[in-house]
Chains A and B, each alone.
Chain A
Amino acid sequence: MKNVQRLKKINKRISIFSLLLLVSVLFIHSQTLDLSYKFISGVVLDKTGEPIIGVTIFTEGKGSVGTITDTKGKFSIKLSKEVRVLQISYVGYISQKVELNDKKTIEIILQENNQLLSEVVVVGYGSQKKESVTGSISTVSSADLIKAPVGNISNALVGRVAGLTAIQQSGEPGFDQASIRIRGIGTFAGDQNPLVVIDGIVQSLETMNMIDPNEIDKVNVLKDASATAVYGVRGANGVIIITTKKGRKGEPQISFTSNFGVMKPTTLASLSNSYEYAVLRNEAIKNDGLNQPENVFSQDDLWKFQNNRDYTSKEIAAMSQLTEAQKVALSNSPAMYYASHDYLKEIFNRTAIQQQYNINLSGGTDKVNYFVSVGYLNQEGLLNNFGIKNTAADTRNERITFRNNFDFNFIKNFEFNLSVSGYFTDLRTFTNDGGDIDVGSRYRDIIKNIYEAPPFAGPGVIDGKLVRGYAGYRPANNAGGSSAIQFLLDKAIANIKRNNLNISLKGKHTMDYLVKGLSLRGLVSYESNFSKDVNTVPNIPGYQVMRSVEDPNQLMFFGGQESNETITEKSFYKDYKFYVEGGIEYSRKFDKHTITALSLVTAERRTMPKLLYNIPQGMYGVVGRVTYGYDDRYLGEINMGYNGSENFAQGKRFGLFPAVSIGWIVTNESFFPKNDVVTWIKFRASYGQTGNSNIGGKRFMYLPGSWGSYSKYTLPFQGYNFGYSDGTYFSPQYTGNYELSVGNPNVTWEKKESSNIALDINFFKDKLSVSADLFVENRNNILTSLATVPGIIGIDSDVLPPENVGSMKNSGYEINVSWKDKIKDFIYQIGGQVSYAKNIITFKAEPPYPYSWMNETGYSFGQYKGYSNEGFYNSQKEAANHPFNTAGGNNAQAGDLRIIDVNGDGTVDDKDMIPSEYSNVPRFTFSTNFLVSYKGFEISTLFSGSAQGTFSMNGYMINPFSTGVGNTMKYIYEGRWTAERYASGQEITYPRVSMNLLNGTQNGINNSYWLRSTDHIKLKNVEIAYTFSKKSWIKKANLGSLRIYANANNLFTFKNKNLTEGIDPELIHDKFTSEGAIYPITRVINFGLKVQF
């Protein structure tokens, strides 16, 4: 009854929970009183005297009863009169047995367990005590995750897990998730993403990224075969397991978190101003020897650009219609036609607001525990709307997440968990020119309008009016008012609504009555995703502007007609997934032997639109695990997955993925002397196989060859015309039938064999802990297009079936070091980790090239290649002696890159393109975290960094004057080769400028000159916090605790100066980002508070 009353009180306070709680209330039952028992009450405190909440108090033996402490650390328990001893236990503290000795009230002080070895680690389909784990598993705590004020989990994991590498495609809210690689890259053809498991159910990366970090209890990252083998055909890329919070028995607790932050780009490229641009273009026209006097900026033009004026003093003097005052005003009037804009900065410079709120309620009774959480996130985009509302520049990401976890325990021998979770997102963003929301092309379509117009294109918005053109006079080079701003504001607005619902019901039936330690388990889950995109094309009134002829100080606007916006439904998507598992578990300890065993069957079926032949995706598998421990000294495990996927032919669908691992805890041996220097030594080793069924290529590749048929003839080779015509009419068209594919009945999964050996050592009473893992992985059966098949077979590479013949080797290490100590109230922690993963393609079915460096085999996945150069030709004479060059028609002139004829055959061609730098995904990642706390204060920092990664520049990043008139990056102006700059010894960072694109010349993208190192160190995360936990005013306000904090993400970056401005070292290299179509990655500075009551 008491509980019910309390709940009612809370219900009044927070009406949002009422409905959800109704479910739990139904299961709460009243306790009955019985006078034949005695009552014991007490309080549990830590050694500083602070109450500990949620401590379990229970009795041993038959008829065991128990309770947990409330928010004040208090408990009361009714016991039968015979009970003499109470067991007290709490995670992170040393368990105690307390003699009752007829005491009615007791006070218990729990000692912290500094070893923290009793921590529970979540493994595939189960959990293990950390000390008995033999695989390679990293853990990230909830506390660390919520320090990062970011919109998704993938970014919060960066720097927190040894062996996890992340690169990011975009900083746009809602699209800013990182691509995560665990232990680097293992395949060149298949999917490289890790598997995501949330509360035991395989989910998408997207679902993971949508979770509110306040809902997460911990994240475990499974890295070696021993840990991932149970996931079989999906485990090869590593597994991220997220465990969400559950309620604990005790009074209801409400926790409220509020965050408010601002976002800015971490880096933004600088563009040259109008004057620099004009100088550079004149120079390029001269360099190219072009006879284009009409395109050369005059001295007057240059003066106007330099002085930001539309008229020279001479021109003003000649305006006889003006009074002297008007002339003076005009000579002081800033330019409109000859203005200068850095549209990149103008468009992406918004100080965007980010807000995040979470409220959750948790607690429990004997029969039910509950955790109910609702979160809200709102992030604005970086785009500036220039004061015009309701355009595509007003972007935002809004998200509501919810999670309800209930644990029921009201039937003997049965436990149930019901979980209902999901999210709603409401994204509002700009579309690409085709009205689509594809990420890269949207950025390209904004960026191209910036780079393909001169800096004096404009003016954009004047007095809140969108100007689409100049009336009458046009400034030089036809920069007729079509600024990047206009293109941005005219874009269609995409409203993307997505929602996701996950329902799962787990059950566990303990069968001690049959065999002690035996239990059955089962799980049913249903997931559905829905999304809808609606495009709105705003119709912003547009104006033409000109300076008045009578008085050029006056601006005259024309136009401004209003018209309606148009709304179209763009897409509609729905999918659902059904998952079941059922199995049997056994866990028993006999003397010194600890044995566990697990056998499970899992099945999954996912239906979504546009699946080939409309056949749902299915998975079916069996999981098995046996662990054995002897005397806490020797550990052994066998894990296995036996999986099948519909991607493979019947009879070749199922594969067995076994792994074995062993552990030896040396410090538990009797011969090992107990001491305070070396307190813990554990060796671990594992070997096993896992697979990857996302092998790339088409679905059902095992089917026999098929033919395609064109329904329309709109491109050459889709059909042909037969029939007589004299040209006055068309002959009939015959649409074509063609060989579409040749089957590969043997297609199978990628198979990974991996070994891991590791050592965990703790020193100085466990203050210092060091953990080192060494791994080697060999991935075979990678689906590979056979480049060795002769062309005369006549099967196009699109048609020729790829075979599972490729292989890669991936090896590396992870080292974790941490020091934790406290001196009275002063607690400090220093930790660091380094991880390294290097992969090599060992077979790719490539033909033997004349030079080994031409192969991809023998090099890392994504290894960049290019011509190597030794600086520039610094004179016409040097250029005249260039080797014969197949690029750009064998031309070279002073200021061009001096390419080395590597193979010495007198010709520069693709035989001279050698591996240069590294790949985009860095081999080394490292981070160091630091935490100090004193009483309520806490400061923590995370530095993260990487080495041996590369970014390749292309497109607008290296080409000035796109489409003949486009703007150029400032570094080109500042670093270009000119004879004068060379002669005066200035640093040259760019070849001579040319009106032509670099591609197709020896200065083009095939040149390793454009490869830039992404080595960097970032101050990734900082947090300063203060917790008012003992202050009396907190207690008066009926608050349990209050924590206020300020934190920041991506605060500073120290990078190689070679890396051009605008490229964040964590940026992905793809065909869009490399050409400069970048939505900047953001820096967030955030303020927040957390209240518990």
Chain B
Amino acid sequence: MRKKYILFVLLLAIFNTSCVDEFINAPDVVSLDLEKVFSSKKSVEGAIALAYAYNLSSGLPIFNWSPPYMPFGTSEAFVGGEDLSSVTWTYEPAITGTGMTAATTELLQGAALSDDNFPNNYQYIRHACIILENVDKVPDMNAEEKKIIKGEMKGLIAFRHLEMLKRYGGVPCVDHTLTVVDFIKRSSVQETLDFIVKLSDESAELLKGHTWSNDWNGRLTEGVALAIKAEVLTFAARPLFNSATPYMDFSPHNDLICFGNYDSNRWQKAIDANLAVIEWGKQNGYELINTGNPFEDYGMAVGVPGSKEVLLAYKQQGDSKDNTGGGMMAVYCPNPQWGGTVAPDYRGTSYEMLIQYRKEDGTNQTWAGTTEQPYQDYYDRAQEMEPRFKASIFCFGIDPWNNPNDNFWSVSKGWHMQKSKQNQGIGRNIKFWYKAGTRTWFEFPIYRMSEFYLNIAEAYNGMNDDVNSRKYLNIIRNRGGLNDLTTQVGEDLKNEIYRDWEVEFYNENQHYPHARHWKRGDTMIGGAKHVFNFTYISAAWGVRVPADFLTYKLAPATVPVYAWYDKMYLSPFPQVEMNKGYLVQNPGY
């Protein structure tokens, strides 16, 4: 008996697993979770900050090198040919040389060769949706504050869908968080439009009458919600969607890429919506800066953060020193001190962009052709250009007009601007840096009041109301220092409007969507691009004052001839997403 008893105790001891917990622990708290984030107003602010940072980033080169947000320091300006880059080993030659494709390349880490990475949109929308769905939980926030936040999130969701509509046509419409088993198909263009209009109406309603204190400048207002609606209705009226036949036959899915009919009433809706923005702006202090001094007015409007002309900006006030500026600095800052030394070395404005600008007297400038001209010719002709040119571009060898008497921005006096090779393109974008001094950051304008005037001018032209069309166009021309148009009608007027869009909004992400929605991709994007080739008195490195230059002439750029295929009127969905079986690919990809 004793033996058996001992054995039994032994076996019991062996299989006793009561000390498991001594060896295996589990964490009892998780540092931060959804409940905690929505447990205080302060904490929710952190979530709201990212909702803005994410959703408003559409089309912007947020990261310098990481795909797939406009990767490798490229931008829509490069993809569309406003600016050119002679860098041969990045994204730019791939997308401009071959056009967009659904397939990925080694550079893109799984994204399509496109102007956008489709799945990112929904990550950002999800973030806004989580706030929308959980803000009611926040204990130390009153009902009014919660209402405003809901209005903002709906506005951001609408904005992101608008950005997708412009690029893809109809897309899956998502206004709530999804689970991993949710498959939502593409909506038609009409449904997507209605979805955006509805969300922006709701956003406007929720934000109605709310004004932000200076501390919160940059958050959505009713005006922004109205602007989203105005923009989406304008795009709905433009030729790409507002047509009986799509840009490529896509039956039976034509409704995903066009309305299937032309309706001039769409222009009227656009006019009404844009007028509402202008009206709201007048009442709330957002309007065109027009003091009769075009160079300063335009310079201020586009080049000084917080100007009253900017209804909404991307308020990432980071510079290259602390990295926060990321790709934004590298792409948009021509000063190597802030933009990094590499990017400006290889970049410049295209000749195709240059010839959109007029002389101060409103006539076209005649630049050197393929025969070499003295540098002085370039120098003199640059001085004759219209104010918006001088506020947007600095010319090689010439101290930038929009930063006068500032050694920091001087090509002849400061060392920063001398560092770069000033021979790419015809000059270089400097428009966001009006009298910038040592400012190391800028805010990319998302909605600037002048676009609503040009929208209206374009819409009246679409309805063959040339008088009203000229009226609104002239407001912009006039502010820009150009004479009024009085006689142009129809197609001629349209071309003038288009040209003013190009000039007024150089490098503000309007060129590329316009080329597509005006159905002018083949002329506005495709084809060979040109630059000026300069010669110097020596192969000296560094100083690039006028005395260093000898001649200039027109020459093909080193970039590949820009490819244009009709499929590129809309962007491809990445192949990896297509493979999951819930999407219909746009035609041609």
Chain A interface residues (CB < 8 Å from chain B):
294, 514-515, 520, 582-584, 599-601, 603-605, 612-613, 615-616, 618-620, 622, 644-646, 650, 653, 700, 703-710, 713-728, 730-740, 786-796, 800, 847-850, 884-891, 907, 909-911, 996-997, 999-1000, 1004-1006
Contact = CB atoms under 8 A, between A and B. Distances in A.
Nearest to A733: B317
Interface stretch (B99-107, B135-143, B383-391, B403-411): B99-107
Contacts of A790: 182-184, 577, 580, 582
A646 B315 contact: no
Given A514-B6, A601-B15, A721-B218, A999 B33 contact: no
Contact of B439 (A723, A727, A789): A727
Contacts of B324: 713-716, 718
Q: Which of A620, A644, A718, A739 has the most CB of B within 10 A?
A: A739
A725 B323 contact: no
Contacts of A616: 25
Nearest to A1004: B106
Q: Which of A514, A721, A740, A788 has the most CB of B within 10 A?
A: A721
B247 interface: no
B130 A848 contact: no
Interface in B264-319: 304-306, 315-318
7 contacts: A724-B306, A732-B215, A737-B50, A789-B180, A794-B177, A886-B113, A889-B560
A625 to B, nearest CB: 13
A888 B94 contact: yes
A301 to B, nearest CB: 16
Contacts of B126: 739, 793-795
Contacts of A1000: 88-90, 93-94, 105-107
Contacts of A515: 3, 7
Contacts of B574: 791
B97 interface: yes
B351 to A, nearest CB: 18
Q: Please name the 3 residue pairs, one residue from A and one from B, whose CB atoms are nearest each other, closest first.
A: A889-B97, A791-B119, A794-B126
Contacts of A716: 53, 57, 62-63, 316, 318, 324-328
B123 A622 contact: no
Contact of A708 (B32, B124, B125, B575): B32
B371 to A, nearest CB: 17
Contact of B179 (A645, A739, A787, A793): A793
A886 B582 contact: no
A700 B94 CA distance: 42
A732 B216 CA distance: 9
B119 A724 contact: no
A707 B47 CA distance: 10
A717 B54 contact: yes
B11 A584 contact: yes
A723 B306 CA distance: 9
Contacts of B118: 791
B122 A722 contact: no
A719 B325 CA distance: 12
Contacts of B48: 734
B484 interface: no
Interface stretch (B16-24, B195-203, B447-455): B16-24
B1 interface: no
Q: Which of B15, B103, B179 has the most CB of A within 10 A?
A: B103
Contacts of A733: 317
B214 A720 contact: no
B315 A721 contact: yes
B127 A738 contact: yes
Nearest to B16: A601
A600 B577 CA distance: 51
A118 to B, nearest CB: 31
A725 B563 contact: no
A710 B47 CA distance: 10
Given A584-B10, A601-B17, A719-B49, A793 B122 contact: yes
A725 B174 contact: no
A720 B381 CA distance: 42
B178 A721 contact: no
A605 B23 contact: yes
Given A618-B24, A794-B124, 18 more contacts: A603-B19, A707-B37, A719-B53, A720-B52, A721-B315, A723-B214, A727-B442, A731-B217, A733-B317, A737-B32, A737-B37, A738-B127, A790-B183, A792-B122, A794-B119, A847-B579, A887-B105, A889-B98
A165 to B, nearest CB: 29
B97 A891 contact: yes
Given A622-B17, A722-B218, A850-B579, A615 B49 contact: no
Given A601-B15, A620-B23, A722-B217, A996 B53 contact: no
Contact of B122 (A718, A725, A791): A791
A999 B106 contact: yes
A792 B577 CA distance: 9
A790 B147 CA distance: 31
Interface of B: 3, 6-7, 10-11, 13-17, 19-20, 22-27, 30-34, 36-37, 43-50, 52-54, 57, 62-63, 88-90, 93-94, 96-98, 101, 103-107, 113, 118-119, 122-127, 129-130, 172, 174, 177-180, 182-184, 214-219, 304-306, 315-318, 322-328, 436, 439, 441-442, 539, 560, 563, 574-577, 579-582
A715 B323 contact: yes
Nearest to B183: A790
A794 B50 contact: no
Given A721-B317, A790-B183, A1000-B94, A796 B7 contact: no
Nearest to A709: B32
B25 A615 contact: yes
A515 B119 CA distance: 69
B32 A723 contact: no
A706 B29 CA distance: 11
A172 to B, nearest CB: 30
B272 to A, nearest CB: 31
Contact of B101 (A582, A850, A886): A886
B128 to A, nearest CB: 10
A737 B34 CA distance: 10
A717 B577 contact: no
Contacts of A884: 98
B107 A847 contact: no
Given A514-B6, A515-B3, A1000-B107, A724 B214 contact: yes
Contacts of B103: 886, 909-911
B98 A890 contact: yes
Given A792-B122, A887-B105, A909-B103, A731 B317 contact: yes
B407 to A, nearest CB: 18
A992 to B, nearest CB: 15
A720 B316 contact: yes
Contacts of A726: 304-306
A707 to B, nearest CB: 5
A703 B89 contact: no
A705 B14 contact: no
A601 B14 contact: yes
Given A646-B26, A891-B560, A725 B306 contact: yes
A730 B122 CA distance: 30
Given A721-B316, A793-B180, A700 B50 contact: no
A910 B98 CA distance: 14
Nearest to B13: A582
A709 B31 CA distance: 10
A727 B301 CA distance: 12
B36 A707 contact: yes
A705 B33 CA distance: 7
Contacts of A800: 180
A645 B62 contact: no
Given A613-B27, A891-B97, A1000-B89, A714 B322 contact: yes
Contact of A717 (B26, B53, B122, B576): B53
Contacts of A849: 575, 579
Q: Which of A720, A732, A884, A887 has the most CB of B within 10 A?
A: A720
